[in-house]
Each structure stands twice: as C-alpha cells, then as structure tokens.
C-alpha cells in the first residue's frame, strides 16, 4: 500500500503516529505555503511576464531581467541598501553584544529587567511613529540634535537632507530600533552558559578579555550567526523607516531596493519589473544567508 | 435548565452571526462609496456625504466618503480596483492613469458629458477625458502654480507686493532682497521656498512652470519622445537657473522642509502653489498676510499648466455605477459647484461661477485670470506620466543637491524616459 494511503487509513501504531505528526505540522505548512511559497512562486512566474493590471499578461522571457539588471537606478538602490546594511549590521551586533554583556553582569534581577526593558522598548514601538520622531530630531532647522550641537558650538548639520549624511542618519535609527531585540537574544544565550566555565578560566588565570574571546564568544557563536542573519535580512528589506522619513531622498540617496520595488509595483504598476527585483532580493538573501551559515557556524556544546 | 441555557446561547450566536453577515451587505446595497486622496480638503469631501443624504431621499442611496492618505494612495486604489471587492463606486483620480493606463473607468453618459463640456472653462476640457471621451468630472479649477507672496516680508524687504515681479530677472532680484542670512552665511529667511523633498513627481510638478517660462517642454507634443525636449537647451537653461537658486544665488535653501511650512512659518517670502493653497493657509496659518499673483514670465509665460488633472471617475465594475452617474447628475449644477468649493475655500469649476461674489472676493481672482490669459502651456496627460515625471524629477533634484550638472543629468533622464515610453 502506498505511504500516503496509509497516512489516511492507518494500519499500525506507527502509521497513526505519522498521521498525528503530519496533522500537527499541517497548519504551519499551509500557512507557510499560502503566505510565503505561493507569493514567491507568483513572483518568479511574474518576472517572466509583462503584466497590465486589469489587462492581459504577455510572456517576455528574460527580457525584464535584462532590463532591470541593466538599469542604473536599480543598482544605485542596491548600493544604497548595501551601504546602509554595512553601517547598521556590525554596529547593531557589536553594541547589542556589549549591552548584553553589561546587563549579564547586573546582579539584581529586578534592575536587569528594568534596563533590558528600556533597551527593548524601541523595538516594540511603531516603526513609522519612531521614524517621524527621528525626522524631527534630525530636522536641520528645528531639530533637537542640531540644538544640542549648537550648545557645544558645532554648526548645524543637514542630516537627512544631505547626500552624505542621510544613510548614516538612517543607520542610527536602525541601530536604535534593533538594539533591544538583539540584546535580548544575546542576554538569553549568556544566561544559559554555565558559570563554571568562566570560574574555571579565572582560576586558571584568564583575564576578562581572554574569557570573552575564548569562552563567551565561541559559546555565543550560534546566536551571533543567527542575529547577523536576522539583521542582514531586516536591513536588506528595510522599507518603513526610509519611506516615513526620506521617501528615498534626497536625490535618491537613500532609496533602497524594497522602496524601488514598491514604487515600481504600486506607483508605476510594472509588476513584472517589481517581480524581478523581488526574485533578486530573495536569491541574494538566500545565498548570503547560506554562505554565512556554512562559513561561520561552529557547533557548540556546553 | 442547562439545555435551555445552551439553546438560548445557540440562538443568540445564530442571530449575531446573521446580523454580522447581513449587516455589511445591507449597508453596501444602499451606499455609494467614494474614495479620495484629497486629505487637505476635508470639508470638500464631506460635502458629498451631506449631499448624499439629500440624494437618499429620492433614491435610497447615501454616499460614504473614504479618505485614502495621499502617500501611497496609488497602491491602495490599484489593489481595490483590481480586486473588485472592496473597491469604491467612484473615486478621485486622473483619467489618463486609471482610464488610460488601465481600463477601470466607466464612460460618462453623453448628455452628462455635454453638460460638463459646456459649463467648464476651456482649458479644463481635457481633464477627466481620455482619447477624446469624457470619463470624469473635473473637480479642481486653478490647479496651476501661482505666486504666493508674504506681504509683511515683502514690505520689510522694501518691495511692493502690489507690484509683483513680472519677469524672472525682476523676480530673482526680489528673491535676493527677501533672503536674510545669519553671521555664518546660512539663510534664516529665504526669498523662495522650493520643493526638494518627497516624491520626485511632485518636484517635477513644481519645476515645470520654470521650464515652461524658459520655453522648454518635458515631452514632445505627441507625448512620444523625451530626448530633444527634456534635455533641450531651453530645459538645461531652466534647470541651471533653478539649481542656481540654491547653489549660486542662495535665495532658496535645502535645509528648509516643505515649502508650505516655510511659508507659514514666515521663513520664505514666496512660494508657488495652486489655488487651493489659499484656503489652506487661511485655515492653518490665519496670521499670514499674503497676496497672490500670476507667475513671472521668462522667454515666454508659463501659463496655466498642471500635471495632476484630478477628476471624479466612476468604477466600471461597480454594481452601482448607474446610480453613481445619477448622483453626479444630481450635483451637476452651478449652485452645488459653488457651495461645495466655497465650503473648502477653493475655486469652483463651473464657468458661470467664476464671476460670483465669492470668487471675486478671493485674493487669487486676478492671478487666476492673468494665468489663464497667458499662452496655454504643454500638458503631459500620458498614461505613464507619473513614472516619466519621476525620472525627470530625479534629474531636477540631482541638480539641486549638486549631484551633477544639468546637461548630463537631463540627458540621462531623457534616455530613461524614452525607454519608459517605448516599454
């Protein structure tokens, strides 16, 4: 009898177990298929068609790939995204690690939780609301930041209205938003490392730096890799903050791939071109994530 | 007892379910849903609901107004119109986009189209039309840039707001007088607040009056070519002049945010905006004393041109489209036109209303007349106008931010626009 028939009409205890397992994962599989797989497949298929919303679609082969991948605007947005990512990801991960190490040293559980909650708050705030507040902070004329700088005699900066300062300014917002989430992951991981390891190292004469380098960081390797991957994905797909603050400006200096994708799909209604960009983003993230996973991940045993 | 309670609960649940399911359906049957992205004109929008109540007495159909935030409104419109369910019965949009690029619009009945064609100013005839057929009702007169001048700042600078600059040489001289810089050379008050933020399509819209005054046009008369037009010597000259306002003459400043805010905060002496802005300033910054004048002329006069010919369009898949046309017919008269526009402080559309006391008492009365007396400027009512204007706007903003010189940026933009036109 075929296995799938035995799943429907189980004959043995093992068949019933398999069926139970299938039923348990079925909702997740269905959800994943509807929300992720189907749109992904639609994007891949859509990237080969020139689609007119409300009208007919025309199969155009790889012409849209040729067009999009030869478009300077597309590569500018990729470059903006990568530069934003390079500024945000290492800063967020290093800062989150530092904060988590600091929080881990706080003996009082109550105060540790208070500090952790404070770091986590920005993550739970609405990105758009946060972006609007930052827009005010960065305002060249009325901004709080320029007001503070003026107190120490620094001339006003243009921040989000400067070609050179816009991406670092957005990167700071990203770090602010993501810091709490990453810190929580690191803190949870730190608390699961048995204290005897550090104790033994101290007895053997290891200093703080040696304990960090040879015990803490290797044991945090899975979490560091995971956080790096999550940050990479988050920053590559960044949209909300940029859309709410600069709308990709000034002069496209902060236009990211996802912003361009959104505009292409929903302002210019070129669904095929937007699908090509979506496929590009998906495969880029897939390849980079797999590479990160393969190269940097080391098995950890406590 | 337990069985009785359970029975009551089941019946209650059934009744609630029936009400939930039947409620929206019943409501939808008797409502004409109108979508608009005119966030800045809430009273104008609400008038449809008020009038809808009157209409309901005759037909049973009320009007529900849904205001869609302007930012990203296209995506929401598109999703709804493509999806059919949840789509509006009629909506505020541009005919060349929603009827031209897509086929979402119902054609206006001939008699109604005739009524509108006979009763709106000639320059508005193409608004709401696509390929000669009328689909929509134009809703905005005076939808072209005019010069708003802060009277107090003009007087402080030794300028006479009653004698506004007529040429761009005079205009630039006035802007220089209006600009005040601090000890570090940073302008604390600028002559002209220009649009440099936000979607490039809006930046194009605000730059085009300059381009037209320099004798340039963004696209060929047939709207099929950009090279030779978007990068013509006249356009390069216009963009050089525009860029110099920030980079060389320093009468405009990129540190200021939206031009409207700069004007309302008395940080700018002059702003270019459409007629509706008068009502907006009156409501949001009533302490500002201002006058409105026609735009100055360069080689030629810019004329009453616009990039966004807003019109009320009827969704062709709406089950209520006949009733929507009846509603539009119900409000298609001079009295309602005046009442609705006056409520918001914007210009009415019907020709007969242009000489009413309300319009004559407005500060833009003469400016509108003067603008309409200028030569008719080019229009760009192309299905891909948004995308074309975005590409062009990127060149404009690139110059403002010193990313490059006007000529190479316009050459690049023109080539991209041609590619878009070909696609």
Q: What is the pLDDT of residues A3-60, one digit of tens each?
A: 778 878 888 888 899 889 999 999 999 999 898 899 899 999 999 998 876 667 889 9
In a domain, A272, yes or no: yes
Among the partner-chain residues B101, B254, B412, the one whose CB lies closest to the CB of A161 is B254
pLDDT of A99: 96
Residue of A nearest to B423 (CA): A50
Are the C-beta atoms of residues B174 and B159 closer than 8 Å to each other?
Answer: yes
pLDDT of B216: 96
pLDDT of B135: 97
Q: B301 — phi, psi (to 5°)?
A: -95, 145
Element (H, E) at A283: helix A271-296
Element (H, E) at B130: strand B129-130
Distance CA B248, CA A201 (A): 66
pLDDT of A54: 62
In a domain, A148, yes or no: yes
Residues of B in contact with A54 (CB under 8 A): 81-82, 102-104
Distance CA B263, CA A183 (A): 45
Q: What is the pLDDT of residues B200-232, one digit of tens each?
A: 999 999 999 999 999 999 999 999 999 999 999
pLDDT of B54: 95
Residue B26 has pLDDT above 50, yes or no: no
Regarding whether A159 and A217 lie in a shared domain, the answer is yes
In a domain, A74, yes or no: yes
Average pLDDT across chain B, whole number: 91
Task: Tell me the CA end-to-end span of chain A in Å, nearest whole number.
Answer: 45
Regarding whether A127 and A221 lie in a shared domain, the answer is yes
Regarding whether A25 and A137 lie in a shared domain, the answer is no
Distance CA A119, CA A115 (A): 6
Q: What is the pLDDT of residues B151-182, one digit of tens each?
A: 999 999 999 999 999 999 999 999 999 999 88
Query: Which residue from A84, A97, A113, A70 is spatially nearest to A246, judged by alpha carbons?
Result: A84
pLDDT of B24: 47
Are the C-beta atoms of residues A209 and A123 closer than 8 Å to each other?
Answer: no
Average pLDDT across chain A, whole number: 90
Q: What is the pLDDT of residues B279-303, one digit of tens each?
A: 888 888 999 999 999 999 999 999 9
pLDDT of B197: 87
In a domain, A58, yes or no: no
Q: A24 — phi, psi (to 5°)?
A: -65, -40
- Domain CATH number, residue A184: 1.10.3720.10
Regarding whether A115 and A25 lie in a shared domain, the answer is no
pTM of the model: 0.83
Distance CA A191, CA A186 (A): 9
Distance CA A251, CA B203 (A): 11
Distance CA B25, CA B319 (A): 13
pLDDT of B16: 58
Give the CB-side neighbour count of residue A105, counting CA atoms within 13 A. 7
Q: What is the pLDDT of residues B56-106, one digit of tens each?
A: 999 999 999 999 998 889 889 988 998 877 899 999 999 999 998 888 999
pLDDT of B7: 61
Structure tokens of B285?
């910054």
Regarding whether A24 and A72 lie in a shared domain, the answer is no
Regarding whether A75 and A28 lie in a shared domain, the answer is no
Phi-psi label, residue A159: left if phi above 0, alpha if psi -120 to 50, beta otherwise? left
Residue B248 has pLDDT above 80, yes or no: yes
pLDDT-based confidence at residue A156 (cuts at 50, 70, 90) = confident
Mutate to test the interface with B, among A42, A269, A276 (most CBs of B within 10 A): A269
Regarding whether A147 and A88 lie in a shared domain, the answer is yes
Query: In angstroms, what separates the C-alpha of A53 from chain B's closest C-alpha?
Result: 7
Q: A49 — phi, psi (to 5°)?
A: -125, 140
pLDDT-based confidence at residue B187 (cuts at 50, 70, 90) = confident
Instruction: Determine whether the interchain pair A250/B74 forms a contact, defined as Cβ–Cβ distance below 8 Å.
Output: no
Distance CA B307, CA B390 (A): 12
In a domain, A120, yes or no: yes
In B249-386, DSSP assigns E strands to: 268-273, 290-293, 310-314
Query: In angstroms, what separates the C-alpha of B386 from chain A's closest C-alpha?
Result: 7
In a domain, A51, yes or no: no
Burial class (CB in 10 A: 0-12, 13-18, 19+), B221: exposed
pLDDT of B29: 52
Regarding whether A70 and A39 lie in a shared domain, the answer is no
Task: Tell me the CA end-to-end span of chain B in Å, nearest whole number.
Answer: 73
Structure tokens of A167?
């991406």
Regarding whether A91 and A165 lie in a shared domain, the answer is yes
Q: Give chain B's domains with CATH numbers.
A: 27-138+310-367 (3.40.190.10), 146-307+379-422 (3.40.190.10)
Q: What is the pLDDT of residues A261-289, one digit of tens each?
A: 998 988 888 889 999 999 999 999 999 98
Regarding whether A171 and A41 lie in a shared domain, the answer is no
Cis, bond preceding A154 (omega within 30 deg of 0): no
Cα separations in angstroms, B127 against B303, B363, B389: 16, 25, 18
Number of domains in chain A: 2
Distance CA A272, CA A264 (A): 9
- ipTM score assigned to the predicted complex: 0.77
User: Could you tell me which residues of chain A have a Cβ less than 8 Å from any Cβ in chain B?
Assistant: 52-55, 67, 72-73, 139-141, 155-156, 158, 161, 163, 246-247, 249-253, 262-263, 265-270
Q: What is the pLDDT of residues A214-251, one digit of tens each?
A: 999 999 999 999 999 999 999 999 998 888 888 898 88
In a domain, A194, yes or no: yes
Among the partner-chain residues A54, A247, A251, the one whose CB lies closest to the CB of B403 is A251
Query: In angstroms, what separates the C-alpha of B319 from chain A's closest C-alpha?
Result: 17
Residues of A in contact with B186 (CB under 8 A): 156
pLDDT of A55: 65
Task: Kindly give, in sequence order, each residue whose CB lies less than 8 Å from that of residue B373, ignoring residues fewer than 6 positions away.
Answer: none
Three-class DSSP category at B17: helix
Regarding whether A100 and A185 lie in a shared domain, the answer is yes
Count of CB pairs separated by less than 8 Å, A with B: 80
Instruction: Determine whether the interchain pair B401/A265 forms a contact, defined as Cβ–Cβ distance below 8 Å.
Output: no
Instruction: Determine whether the interchain pair B197/A161 forms a contact, defined as Cβ–Cβ distance below 8 Å.
Output: yes
**Average pLDDT of the segment spanning A62-66:** 94
Distance CA B219, CA B379 (A): 9
Regarding whether A178 and A86 lie in a shared domain, the answer is yes
In a domain, A56, yes or no: no
pLDDT of A243: 87
Q: What is the pLDDT of residues A178-208, one digit of tens each?
A: 999 999 999 999 999 998 999 999 999 999 9
- Which structural domain range is residue A39 located in? 3-46
């Amino acid at each position: 009898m075929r296995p799938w028939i035995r799943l429907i009409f189980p004959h043995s205890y093992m068949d019933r177990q398999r069926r139970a397992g299938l039923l348990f994962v079925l909702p997740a599989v269905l959800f994943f298929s509807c929300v992720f797989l189907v749109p992904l497949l639609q994007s891949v298929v859509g990237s080969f068609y020139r689609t007119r919303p409300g009208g007919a679609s025309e199969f155009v082969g790889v012409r849209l790939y040729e067009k999009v991948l030869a478009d300077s605007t597309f590569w500018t947005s990729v470059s903006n995204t990568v530069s934003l990512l390079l500024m945000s990801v290492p800063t967020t991960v290093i800062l989150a690690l530092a904060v988590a190490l600091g929080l881990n040293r706080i003996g009082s559980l109550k105060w540790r939780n208070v500090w952790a909650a404070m770091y986590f708050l920005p993550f739970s705030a609405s990105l758009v609301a946060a972006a609007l507040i930052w827009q005010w902070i960065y305002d060249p004329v009325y901004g709080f930041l320029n007001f503070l700088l003026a107190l120490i005699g620094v001339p006003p900066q243009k921040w989000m209205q400067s070609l050179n300062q816009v991406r670092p300014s957005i990167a700071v917002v990203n770090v602010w938003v993501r810091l709490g989430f990453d810190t929580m992951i690191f803190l949870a991981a730190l608390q699961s490392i048995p204290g005897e390891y550090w104790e033994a190292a101290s007895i053997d004469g290891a200093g703080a730096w040696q304990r960090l380098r040879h015990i803490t960081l290797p044991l945090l390797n899975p979490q560091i890799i995971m956080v790096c991957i999550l940050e990479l994905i988050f920053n590559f797909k960044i949209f909300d903050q940029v859309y709410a603050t600069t709308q990709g400006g000034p002069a496209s200096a902060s236009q990211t791939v996802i912003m361009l994708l959104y505009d292409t799909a929903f302002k210019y209604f070129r669904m095929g071109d937007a699908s090509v960009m979506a496929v590009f983003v998906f495969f880029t993230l897939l390849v980079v994530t797999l590479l990160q996973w393969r190269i940097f991940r080391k098995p950890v045993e406590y | 007892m337990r069985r009785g309670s359970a029975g009551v609960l089941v019946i209650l649940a059934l009744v609630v379910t029936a009400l939930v399911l039947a409620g929206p359906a019943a409501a939808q049957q008797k409502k004409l849903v109108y979508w608009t992205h005119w966030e800045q004109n809430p009273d104008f929008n609400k008038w449809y609901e008020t009038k809808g109540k009157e209409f309901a007495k005759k037909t049973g159909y009320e009007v529900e107004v849904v205001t869609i935030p302007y930012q990203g409104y296209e995506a929401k419109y598109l999703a709804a119109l493509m999806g059919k369910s949840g789509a509006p019965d009629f909506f505020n949009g541009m005919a060349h986009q929603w009827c031209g690029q897509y086929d979402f619009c119902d054609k206006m009945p001939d008699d109604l189209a005739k009524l509108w064609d006979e009763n709106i100013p000639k320059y508005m005839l193409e608004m709401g039309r696509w390929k000669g057929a009328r689909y929509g009702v134009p809703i905005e007169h005076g939808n072209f840039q005019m010069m708003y001048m802060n009277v107090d700042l003009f007087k402080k600078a030794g300028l006479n707001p009653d004698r506004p600059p007529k040429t761009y040489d005079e205009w630039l001289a006035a802007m220089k007088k209006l600009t005040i810089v601090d000890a570090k050379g940073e302008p604390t008050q600028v002559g002209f607040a220009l649009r440099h933020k936000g979607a490039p399509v809006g930046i194009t819209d605000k730059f085009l009056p300059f381009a037209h005054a320099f004798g340039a046009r963004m696209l060929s008369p047939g709207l099929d070519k950009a090279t030779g037009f978007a990068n013509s010597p006249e356009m390069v000259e216009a963009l050089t002049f525009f860029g110099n306002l920030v980079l060389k003459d320093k009468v405009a400043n990129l540190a200021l945010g939206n031009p409207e805010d700069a004007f309302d905060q008395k940080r700018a002496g002059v702003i270019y905006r459409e007629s509706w802005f008068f009502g907006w300033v009156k409501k949001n910054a009533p302490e500002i004393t201002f006058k409105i004048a026609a735009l100055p002329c360069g080689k030629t006069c810019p004329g009453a041109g616009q990039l966004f010919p807003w019109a009320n369009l009827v969704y062709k898949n709406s089950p209520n489209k006949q009733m929507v046309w009846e509603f539009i017919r119900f409000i298609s008269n001079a009295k309602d036109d005046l009442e609705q526009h006056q409520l918001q402080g914007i210009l009415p559309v019907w020709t007969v209303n242009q000489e009413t006391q309300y319009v004559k008492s407005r500060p833009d009365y003469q400016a509108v007349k003067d603008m309409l007396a200028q030569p008719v400027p080019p229009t760009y009512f192309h299905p891909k106008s948004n995308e074309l204007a975005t590409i062009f706007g990127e060149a404009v903003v690139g110059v403002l931010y010193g990313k490059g010189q006007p000529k190479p940026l316009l050459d690049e933009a023109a080539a991209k626009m041609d590619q878009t036109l070909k696609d």
